[in-house]
């Protein structure tokens, strides 16, 4: 495996981490992490997502740990921009795939 493959795998693992996107979007909206993920979210997963986002510099923690809204950093805004671009590409590819399928009409 090359370094590029390892970097890509780490990026995919980051994106797929439970609650990470919810916390990131919550930070963008000025919400506290707990409010962004809802009351039924697993506290361990929430803490892990918050820790990961803080570790990569995407959010800045408030003084009180995980309570209070987080500040989205420039790096966090860039991360969200790239995620939205990936989503747009994926959505566009799905639309193209659906457009290429023949339309089935019900038989009378």
pLDDT in tens, 7-57: 778 888 888 899 999 999 999 999 888 999 999 999 999 999 999 999 999
6-38 burial: b if 16+ Cβ within 10 Å, else e: eeeeeeeeeeeeebbbbbbebbeeebbbbebbe
- pLDDT of 107 reads 59
The single residue listed with the structure tokens 């370094």 is: 3
3-state secondary structure of 51: helix
Between 12 and 58, where is the model more confident?
Answer: 58
| Any domain includes 108 | no
Q: Coil, helix or strand for 19?
A: coil
Long-range contacts: 37-43, Cβ < 8 Å, 24+? Answer: 42/18
- Give the pLDDT confidence score for residue 89 in this predicted structure: 82
Does position 102 have pLDDT exceeding 70, yes or no? no
Q: Is residue 105 part of a domain?
A: no
Band (96; pLDDT cuts 50, 70, 90)? low
Q: Read off the CATH number of the domain in which 46 is found.
A: 1.10.10
Domain residues for the domain of 82 are 3-100
In-domain check, residue 49: yes
Measured in degrees and rounded to the nearest 5, phi and psi for residue 14 equal -65, -50
Number of independent structural domains in the chain: 1
């Amino acid at each position: 495996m090359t370094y590029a493959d390892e970097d890509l795998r780490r990026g995919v693992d980051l994106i797929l981490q439970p609650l990470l996107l919810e916390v990131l979007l919550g930070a963008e909206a000025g919400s506290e992490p707990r409010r962004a993920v809802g009351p039924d979210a697993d506290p361990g997963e929430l803490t892990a997502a918050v820790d990961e986002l803080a570790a990569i510099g995407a959010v800045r923690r408030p003084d009180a740990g995980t309570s209070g809204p987080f500040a989205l950093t420039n790096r966090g805004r860039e991360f969200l921009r790239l995620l939205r671009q990936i989503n747009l590409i994926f959505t566009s590819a799905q639309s193209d795939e659906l457009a290429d399928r023949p339309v089935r009409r019900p038989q009378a």
